[in-house]
Structures are given as C-alpha cells and as structure tokens.
Structure 1
C-alpha cells in the first residue's frame, strides 16, 4: 500500500472523529462532509491497485499524486473549519447571527468543499483520459503483516547487523592499533555506504586487546553536517577536561588546546566515525597531539581522499573494506532471515535464497534489509522478491536504492508513515523510543486496538521496523524493551527522498534559507551554527509539524517566537530542541490542533494560562534550568497523556556530600487533574496541593516522577499509591539529602507495594524505617538516603526478575553486607555508591550468576573486594571510583592482594580523585585501566 493510501486512511479517521461530528452537526455541514467521506472511501479501493502499478506507469503515478493533493486540500478545509469553530467558542461568540456575520463557517466550508468536489470529479474523469480505467479491478499486493499481538510475542529484538566475514580484517586492524610506529597514526576504514564500516570499527573499538592497550578512548560521530565547536565540546565533556560552564565560553582554538593538554601525557584512541570532508579533519586534528607514545586516531569515511589527507604517510594506507563473499553473504542472510530458527534455513528455500543473496552483491546492509523483508514470508513471495531486485551502476559505484526501496514498498500501510517520519531526525541521531512513539501518536499514525494503548501499538510498530532491519536497536530498557534506536544514513536518505516526493515532509539543513512554498505537511530544520537566523515562511501556513534541532543552543528572538506560534494555526507537532527560550507567548493557546509540544534546554520560568486552551494536546515535554511553574488551567487539558517537566537526561555520577539540584516543575493552585483520565506520564513535579483528592484518581498513570518537601506530602502520596495499579515506573524522593540535616531526617513512609503488579522500575529517595514489600516482577531498583539499619541484600536478592540494582548515597547504614548463593539470579548491573559505613562485603559462590557490570564508588570504609567475586565469571566491566588508596593498592595488577579476584574481568576502570577544581579530575591510571566506554559491545544494550 502506498503512502498516499495511508494519507487517505488518516483523512478518513479524521472525518470520523467525534469532535468533528459534533461541529458539523452544529453548523449544518454534515451532507458535504459525508459526501467527502464516501468519495475518499471509493478512491481508497482504486489506490490499493494503483500502488502495484504506479512504478511502471507514469500515468498512474500522476493520478495517485492528484489523489494525494486533493486529500491534503480536504484535510486543510476540515482543520481550518475546526480551528475557527474552536476560536468562536474560546472567545465566547455564541449567538447564531454573530457566527455568520463574523466568520460564516458554514458558508466558507461549504464553498471550499464544492471546490474539492470539482477536483474529485476531475480526478475520476482523468482515469478515462489517462487510459487507466482498469485500476481497482485487481487485487492489491501489499503485505498486511502479522497481527500486533503476534508481533509482541514472536518478534525478538535484534542488535545491529551481525558481524560476519571480517574476522581477518579485525585481526589486522587490531595489530595496526597496538603495534608498529610510536607516532600518532591515523588508521582509516574506507568504503561505500552499507559495507559495515561502523560495525567493524565498533567491534575493533571494543576488543579487549585494544581497550587494554590505551589509557583513554573516545568515539564521536561526525556526519555530513557537523559543528567543529560542538564536536570538541563533546570531547571536553567526555574527558571532563573543564566544567560545562567553562567549556561554553571557550572558542574552537581554546577547546583544541584544552583537549591537547589533557591528552599530552596519555596514550589515547580516538574514533571519528562517518567523516565526509577534509575540512572536518583539519578542524579537529590539532586537538590530538603526537607525543610518540603510540596513540591512534581511527577514521571511517566513504571518501578515500579524506583518508589520504588525514595521514599521507605510505605506511598508513587506508583499509578499504571489501564486499562479502557468497558464503559470508549467505551466512549473514540466514542469521537475519531465520532469527527464530537460529539461522537454520529450510532446504526447500535454500536455492531460492542463494539466488536472492547473489543479487545483493555482498553488501551487508542490503543483505540485512532483504533478510528482514523475507523473514516469515511464504516461498511464493520469495520468488516475487527475487524477480524484483535489480541493481543500478552509476559512475562505477553500485547503488542499493532499489533494494532499500523494495523493502520500503513491502511495508504494510500503517508502517510507511512511521518509517518516513524517521527522516526528520538529524543524521546519526539516537532517538528515544518513547519520544518517537509520542510523535507518531500526535501525527495520528497510531490507533488503539483492542486492549492495547496508543503507546503499546507504537512499541509494536517500532519492533516491526527493527525486525525488518529498517531501524537499528541501540539500547534496551531494564524490561528488555526498546529504549533507543537509530537509522542507517542510507535508509534515512531513502526516507527523506520518499517523503519529499509524496510531500510528506521536508528536511532543511543549516543554510538559514526559508523553506520553499511546497505543500509539504511537515518541516524539520537542522541547525548546528548558533549564528544562523531561523527563518520560517508564511508561504507554508498549512504545516502540521515543525521540528527544529538547534545543536549548540540558539536563541529564538521574540518576533520569531510570535511568528512561530501565530503563523501556523494547524500545527499538530511543535518540537523545539535546544532553543534557549525565556517565555512562551500567550498566542500558544491558539494552536488548538496541537498534539505534541516539546521545548528542551530552555530558560522558561512560567507557562501562560492560555496553555489550558490546548484541549487536544497529548504530550507536553518542557525542560528548564529554572524549573517551571505550571498554571492550574492545565486541568482543562483532558486529552493529555504525557506531562514531563524535567526531560530525562543521562545521570551524572556524584560523590557523597554533593546535593543534586533538580529543576522540577511546580503545579500551581489546585487544578482538577482528576479529570485528566488519559494521563499516563507525570514526571518532574513537586508534590503539592494538586495531589489532594486527585492523585489517587489518576488510575491510568504508568510513569510518575515526584519530589517531596515535607513528610505530609509523602503521606498523601502513600495513600494515593494504593489505587495506582497501572504504574510501570515510579521515582519518588525527598528534596534534600538527610545527611545534611541529621536532626530532622525526612521519612518516606510507603505502604506495601506488592499489589503494583506492573511496576518494573522503582527509585526511592528518603529515610525508610523498613523496606516495603516489592512486586516480584521488579526489574530495576534504586535506593538513596534510605538509612537502612539491616542488610538489604537479604531481601533484595530474592527478587528473581531484578536486573539493575543501585544502592546510592546513605541507602545502607550498616558495616557488613552479604550476597548468598543463588541470590540475584537475573542481576546484570550493580552499583554501590557512597555507602559510608560499609566495611565488609561478602559474596558466596553462586551469587549473582548473570552479573555483567559492577560499579563501586566512594565507599571509603570498604577494606577489600569480596572473595566470591572471582567466581562471578560473567562480569565484563568493573569500575572502582574514588576509593581509598589502601583499597586501590589491593587491586593493582603488579602485586595487589585482591588482583586474583578480578583478573578474569576484561574491562577494569579505576579512578582516584585527587583534587576538585572547577570539576577538573585527575585520573590515576593502572596498567589495566580503561575509561568508561558507552559503546561497549557487551553492555551497550543494557540501560542504566
């Protein structure tokens, strides 16, 4: 099914909307709207057949384009009509005469529908004119896919393209990094898109031999549109060279100098992934000093000239990536196509499968995408795919657009707009699953089915795209669901190309130009130069979405703000990332179609009361360094599903004695939140009067993040939580660490939590008299300031589903702790932080049999590592931060008494803090010291 049919389906959903039905009855335009609905239903039947024929027939393609345009016209008429009706209600103009004298909505909508009727009649007649009367007589060929419930149960989450065929190349590259010249060499991996440059380099970067060889590492994705200053700031933050505030004030030359100074006495490895031009290398190279200690820089690029320019020495020849052999290709294809069968291909499909694989010419991305396409299909569909694959050769370079396009065309109708939407994100962007699903819902791509919510349907859609290798999974959450993803740049190019052709969306780069007067429904602006002026054009008033990504922070002037909120009355999505906004204009209340509003990294302090007019808003994400005051008019937003006043960011590690300032939002007054029955997320809010009599009635809440200032607030919360049976994630904390106020420690009193059967992630901050009873399916637990007197491990190790455990500052006041045999059967990540009285930790053999990552920090009384740690053979990474010198001496490889307990662990990171000056850290390096590595192959799928 084509994207045009998806557009028509979305229009038909709009025409059936109860809000529209109420308006058309009130203003007497029901007959006109019913006529539109009937005509578009008839068109839909023809579109099913046209999808299969338009590729080979320009006449059909032109006819389909006409249908798309008239569908957009109809949507504009309906949305404009609803906007004017809502305006009348909002301004209080209700008298019948005034309605017609002021706006005459019935006359206007009737006249415009008559124009659309004329266009539809012309389109119907054009089928005969074009000689395509037989459209609609054949059966559609689109795939419908499995049911949602089947996908939920049978679709395993796959990682990025399997590593196949490059074992010898990996061995050779390891040698080039760890052996040979002492000068700083540049090792380049060169090849066309889709060959697996990034996959091979990630494998190289995370190889134990490589990690053991270098003192420090960093991985940066450069991409086509880059900002040298922003990239250098990433390095600065990565290595904590200076504080963030200081880094913001430095120019490019000063940033380079700071990084160079930091690296000057270290053997380092830096990866610059996806670098396109010489200028990018020239802007960064001076940050990487050559001090003859064997440091290395790795580049991945499609341009061999860039590689030769970066290191012209003949001994540093670029490594040009080859295509896979036939057998390697077949091996990869089997792994992607028969995932549920562990790569075992039925004999009756092998011959056909090999023929298909041969047409991929050894290109890993093409093989993976075709494998995802064929997974679960019948043999006759395999043969159709074999006949459809064709290759193009342009100036000697193989193009895979036809293979990727084939996979796009095979998507069921409901996935096509979801896939096209991915082109809005910047290149190499790692998008959060909940962020993407919220946007899909706002655009109307998702529809509740059976007992599944919009969010659950969205999770299924995303899972299907991952299964088809159209999206790459990058991180899992603690419940093994999808946390974040990215899209390969070739598939992103396909998405942008298809979207532009269908006027679905346009993507504009950092050229500062106004968008053209196209009929694109969505506009994404990617700005990475803070000096560029953001300009939008009134020639595109019918935009439904504006997404602005301002890398490096960009001020939005007052006039630009007013224009943005006044010039596009039909907006459904307004996404403003990293725009430094000080206030939202009151005109925001006029955007009555708005479903999704996000403003991150702002300086907002208050919201205008007109925000309550956004009665259709589903998602409100606001993030301010000041904390935001929300007016009580928010209680009128009955469609709101997600309210976040502190957008999630990566957590920073803190030593004991530091107070974390959290800019949570304040809900003013006593709004009727109990009427917001759709609310699923309430995150980043202070407790207050708004809780009284209403929090316990928000029975659809799934995610709650709340901060308490008084014990009375905590008690109110304890009463309400008894009714919140749908909670999946709960974060509840007192606002001030009890360490600083010993005489008035705030108690977080909680009832039994075992009735919260859906609760999977829990964070509690505050004094606990005893541990509450937890639900058995809890997968992530964090405790801080709990001041527990009894060893919590005896209770927690019985939680059989627990995968992540964080015992943070002052969560346990005891001196001994023990993990018994068979305890924590599923635990994968354990953090012990600032347990200031802990002296001894015992681990019996057989405890924590699944542990991958152990972090111990600022436990100043802990004398040594437990004996049983040597039996935890699954451990991949150990981090020891800010421990006493005596403790660190015991884990030295050269004679440390505890070395035998940890020598089996591939990655060990030991950091000693000597001084704190403007957040400058000096790291004490041992021979087996490795810096924290976000891209660790074994751990990158595990979310903290």
Structure 2
C-alpha cells in the first residue's frame, strides 16, 4: 500500500528532473540521488508490509517512509511555488545561487533521513521480495496463511448453495450443451462473491460427473508455477501411471505432451480456480486437446480481462451480489443450520436483518458473520455484534480483510491511488464517471504520455477497476457508462487504506464521533459531507492539503457559513470542488482564488456566482472550470483564453471569451454570449 505513495513521488521527481535539469546544476545530482534511493527502497516495501502486523518497529519504518515521501512532494511544490515560469534562466546568478542553496539544504536533510531508513531496513532484515525469495520458500505472513487456507478449504463441498440457483442452472446448461469443441466458461467477480463455491457445486453435480469421464480441479492464485500446475492437474485427473517423482523429472514441455496424451480422445472437465493473470491459462491451454468430445474448462477470476480473453469461445459470466432475501437465507443457514428459520425470535431477526444489510450481499462476509452469531444465543450478544460488527469480523477471520486486501494489493500504484480516491465519496453516492476521470487527472494520478490523451488513460484506469469488480456500473447513456458507485464494503476498505496512508479525512457534522481532528491536520484530502459551518474543519486541516471535496447528501443541512478566504491558505491545492452547495456563498468569488496556482480542477457548480475575478487568470494549470448553475449567467474575465491548460469548461457564460484560442479544450458544455 505504501508503495502507491512512494511510486507517485518517484514519478513526480522524474518529471521534476526532466523539466528543470538544465538549470539545477549540482542540486540536480542530489534530486537524482533521492529519486534513485526511493525507487530502490520500493522493492522492500512489500516485505515490510507483510511483516508489520507483528512488528511495531517495521510499522514505524513504513510510516516514516510515507511521511518523507509526502515531505518530498511538498518540497517540490514549494520549489515551484516560489518561482515563475522561466525564472531560473532570467534570474541574476547571486539570487539563483541563494535559491538553489536553500533547495540543496532541504535535499541534504532528505538524504540523511533516507540513509537512516536504509540503515533501519537492514537492521529489521527486510528483503527484496523479487530477488530475496528462494524456490519453495514458505511464508508465515497473513498472506501466506491465507493462500494456504484457500488450498485447504477450497474443496469443502457445501451440500446446499443459496442464492445462485438460477446461475447454477444456466452454467450447467452451458456445460452439458451439444457443442463438440472444447470451450471455456469464465466466472468472474470480486473476491468473496462465491465464484469458487459455484464452480465447486457444478463440479460435483451427478450429471456433470456422468458427462465427463475425466475431471480435475486446480487452484492457481497470484504466485504460480506452470510446471507445478501441470503436475497438480495430472494428479487431480487421477489416472497417471507415473509417480510424483517421475513427473517432477519432466520439463514443462514434456508435462504438456504427457497431459495432452492422457486427455486425447476423452471428454474432460477441468476447473482452474482463482486465476489472476491471463498468462496463467495461456501457459496451460496447449496441454488440453481441442477434440470433438465436448470438453469444458471452467475458469474463476476476479479480473474481467482474464475472463473474456481466455479463449475465442469464452463465455464470461459475471457473478452478482446476493439479494437481501438470499442474504438472510444464507445467514440463517450458517447461524441456525437451516435457511428458513421461521421460528427465529423476532428481535433476533430484526438485529440479524440489520447486520446482513451491512454485508452488502457479499456471501463471504455473510458466512463469517453467521459463524460469529452461531456461537451467540442471547439478544444482548447479538446487539454487541451489531454494534461492533466490522471489528468483530476482522478479529474473527482473516478471510474478510485479506481477500479484499488481496484485490487491492494486486493493483498497480496508479490504480491504487485511483481506488483510494473513491473513499472520499459518500456511501451509495452516484459518481459521474466523466467527472471522476477529470478529478483523477487533476490529482496527477494519470502519468503523462506523449501520444495519449490523459482522458483516455484515465478511462483505461476506470475500466481496469470495473474489470476487477472494484467499481460498480450504475447507469449507462448512449452505450457508455455514465455513473458508477462503490460497494459499501469496498468503500470501507478504501477508507481504511486511505486513512492508514494519511490520505483522507472525512468531516461530517452529523457524525462528529467519526471525525478525527488529528487526521485532519495531516491528511492530503478533505471530504466535507454535511455541515452548517465548515470553518472549524478548514481551520484544523493540513495546510499542504491537495484536494477539498464538498458534498451535500440527501436530507443533510446545507452549508450556510463558508469563509472563502479560509480556503486560500491551502497553497498546494489541486482540486476544489463543491457539489450542490447552492445559495451558501457570497455572490462573487474573492480575488484570493488566484493564490491557488496549483489548482487544476475548480468546481463551483450551482453556487450562483455571477462573476469571476480577474485573479482566476493566475491559475495557469487549471484544466477544469465547472460553473454550471441553473438560470445563472456567469461573467468571465475577457482574457480567459490565457488559461491554456483548460480542457473542460461548463456553464452559461458571458464575456469576450475567445474560446477558440483554448487549443486543449475537450469539453465545452456551455451557453456563450459576446464571444469573439
């Protein structure tokens, strides 16, 4: 998780060196050293995160490397804040030398602290997991225990499957249809939905056993070895005449030919469970004859791209979340041993329904909850579980947190940051996808590529998260995804991770107990949900904050007190966005907005401003200016064409705008008057 922050800062250091290398002299070498050291230290972070559970010193090490990464980013922004474009080339040598000397001193401090981190890394025995592992090395980490647990429990056959009867019948028909060629059926969805359970049910149906005279099951997981998989598949089929030692003496190609020979001319079914990379199936499929015997392969995966690219005849099936009635049946089955539970005490049922709603239709969480409740028969005990449900779940089983963590940890660092950004949105909030993409770009989560539009790259990130079942598509418009949302459980995961990294603080005046003042003073992002007076939240916030997002959930009071000048102390702000906070602000925006020179996204939608100050022209990095407000025309400064980075402009606008000069403009949803 920490790697997301460190990688982001390494990327920014690289951009800094490219932009200013020819001016920085000896300071350039120091910046390069810091970048290289952070980049090298990244390879040890995974090992540190695996060990931190039982070692507070390593937790402190991770916290320190996160903190120095943030400070380095602040140092970069501070450097640019003090200068104007082209300042180094025009500045006198004396002033330039003083500026660079101050920068060099700060970098010297970073170097000393990074050297200390490196010394402590050696002291704690942290390893580069890419090079420090030996073949067959075991792990005592939570992740290692989880993988071992999956292998042990994945073949526990439940007698009854709840909630997926229709899905099971559909997939059974596909398994038993008359198509003679080998075909692949892919079941995909987020971890814990029941993909393995459903595949297991199909695997053990009598008609399936009769139809396929050879069957095998193998679990892949993230860390796989093709030779090992082939050997395990051969053993699972159960009709080899070679011993394990003889099989181990065969190379990968020989194992492929051997398995191919065993299956040729036969009707077979093989389940390849928990596939994370499409290369895993690609490395195996040569061993499975096409034939004309109606053979089938079932693949379970969390990742849509793996599911749909498995074979030219792939039938990808996305597993849904359970409905509330199905969730209750499953909870009753796990708690009382029966799915109807008509004789359950009314108060227990009320509490149970409250808790099962919080599970969000995720079978894995419901099963763990049922395991908890099955050991508690008293009403008071159920109330305690309800009041502390998430803590109890985390402490009772490694499945819940680790299966969700596994999906998160598999993400590249840009996707981790994009996913964590979703934590700022209120529960069940319907997120405009185009706006989300603009926010990601403004936050610098999308690396710059010479021949690619940032919107296209950000959309790719969005599609990746959808494909991994971490984002739910809500609405479509003209064949495209218009809005999305985050499942409650995944939002909880994102909030937990974001808070651990000191990324997020949520200020909600309706839930003061959930607000942590200490996190407000260190966070990089502030989400303000509902507050009559937001000034207290802003006063205690980190002055180096990068984004402030305002929301007004349904039935929440609108902001009535908002001191705009208070916002202008956040010098490094990239995103300032209001969502429907209408009629709460002065009619005109203050001149101080021009002090926020890093601002890339300014969302003033529905605030009712009639005029923007000329100081807005100082926002040279501004990419999005959203001024849309029903029935209100907004006057822009005449020289708005100087905002050459502007890509998206929304609102009913007046003034001599000369929008044609904005060569990067991608979205222009606005009415205009008095244009040149």
For residues 300-311 of structure 1, what are the structure 2 equivalents within 5 Å? none
For residues 738-757 of structure 1, what are the structure 2 equivalents within 5 Å? none
Cα distance, 1:131–1:522 mapped onto 2, change above 3 Å: same
Could you state the TM-score of these two structures normalised by the residue count of structure 1?
0.43
Cα distance, 1:450–1:608 mapped onto 2, change above 3 Å: closer
**Candidates 653, 659, 665, aligned match of 1:665:** 653
Cα distance, 1:332–1:18 mapped onto 2, change above 3 Å: farther
Give, in whole Å, the separation in 1 of the partners of 2:534 and 2:13: 41
Give the number of equivalent residue pairs: 459
* Cα deviation code 1:322-344 (max 9, x no counterpart): x989975757999xxxxxxxxx9
Offset at residue 71 of structure 1 (A): 0.9
Give, in whole Å, the separation in 2 of the partners of 1:563 and 1:539: 11
Offset at residue 356 of structure 1 (A): 7.0
Is residue 594 of structure 2 the alignment partner of residue 589 of structure 1? Answer: yes
Offset at residue 126 of structure 1 (A): 0.6
**Candidates 513, 519, 522, aligned match of 2:522:** 519
Partner residue of 1:696? Answer: none
**Candidates 634, 641, 644, aligned match of 1:628:** 634
Offset at residue 418 of structure 1 (A): 1.0
For residues 766-845 of structure 1, what are the structure 2 equivalents within 5 Å? none
Could you state the TM-score of these two structures normalised by the residue count of structure 2?
0.59
- Kept after mapping to 1: 8 A contact 2:442/2:601: yes
* Cα deviation code 1:762-798 (max 9, x no counterpart): xxxxxxxxxxxxxxxxxxxxxxxxxxxxxxxxxxxxx
Give, in whole Å, the separation in 1 of the partners of 2:557 and 2:100: 45
* Cα deviation code 1:647-703 (max 9, x no counterpart): xxxxxxxxxxxxxxxxx212x2254x454322111121315433xxxxxxxxxxxxx
Cα distance, 1:374–1:615 mapped onto 2, change above 3 Å: closer
The structure in which a higher percent of residues are helix is 2
**Candidates 285, 302, 306, aligned match of 1:372:** 302
Partner residue of 2:499? Answer: 500
Partner residue of 2:404? Answer: 404
**Candidates 3, 6, 12, aligned match of 1:14:** 12
**Candidates 28, 31, 48, aligned match of 1:30:** 28
Offset at residue 533 of structure 1 (A): 5.8
Cα distance, 1:324–1:84 mapped onto 2, change above 3 Å: closer
For residues 368-517 of structure 1, what are the structure 2 equivalents within 5 Å? 371-373=301-303, 376=306, 400-449=400-449, 451-478=451-478, 480-510=479-509, 511=511, 515-516=517-518
Cα distance, 1:526–1:9 mapped onto 2, change above 3 Å: same
- Kept after mapping to 1: 8 A contact 2:532/2:557: yes
Offset at residue 13 of structure 1 (A): 2.3
Partner residue of 2:72? Answer: 74
Partner residue of 1:850? Answer: none
- Kept after mapping to 2: 8 A contact 1:515/1:536: no
- Kept after mapping to 2: 8 A contact 1:60/1:132: no
Give, in whole Å, the separation in 1 of the partners of 2:203 and 2:65: 39
- Kept after mapping to 2: 8 A contact 1:589/1:610: yes
Give, in whole Å, the separation in 1 of the partners of 2:540 and 2:17: 28
Say which is worse superposed, 622-631 or 431-440, in terms of deviation. Answer: 622-631
Is residue 676 of structure 2 the alignment partner of residue 680 of structure 1? Answer: no
Offset at residue 447 of structure 1 (A): 2.3
Give, in whole Å, the separation in 2 of the partners of 1:561 and 1:52: 44
State the SS of the aligned residue for 1:578: coil
State the SS of the aligned residue for 1:473: strand
Partner residue of 1:548? Answer: 550
Cα distance, 1:633–1:48 mapped onto 2, change above 3 Å: farther
RMSD of the alignment, in Å?
Answer: 4.4
Offset at residue 498 of structure 1 (A): 0.8
Partner residue of 1:264? Answer: none
Give, in whole Å, the separation in 2 of the partners of 1:426 and 1:475: 18
* Cα deviation code 1:215-249 (max 9, x no counterpart): xxxxxxxxxxxxxxxxxxxxxxxxxxxxxxxxxxx
* Cα deviation code 1:67-118 (max 9, x no counterpart): 22111111111111111113997xx9976389579xx543432222221111
Cα distance, 1:19–1:681 mapped onto 2, change above 3 Å: farther
Give, in whole Å, the separation in 1 of the partners of 2:565 and 2:537: 12
State the SS of the aligned residue for 2:406: helix
Partner residue of 1:137? Answer: 131
- Kept after mapping to 1: 8 A contact 2:23/2:89: no
- Kept after mapping to 1: 8 A contact 2:573/2:599: yes
State the SS of the aligned residue for 2:649: strand
Cα distance, 1:132–1:405 mapped onto 2, change above 3 Å: closer
Cα distance, 1:593–1:324 mapped onto 2, change above 3 Å: closer
Structure 2 unmatched runs, 5+: 140-161, 168-189, 205-211, 221-269, 275-299, 311-363, 376-384, 386-392, 395-399
- Kept after mapping to 1: 8 A contact 2:620/2:645: yes
- Kept after mapping to 1: 8 A contact 2:552/2:579: yes
**Candidates 615, 618, 622, aligned match of 1:617:** 622
Structure 1 unmatched runs, 5+: 142-162, 169-193, 197-322, 335-343, 358-369, 380-387, 646-663, 691-944
Offset at residue 452 of structure 1 (A): 3.4
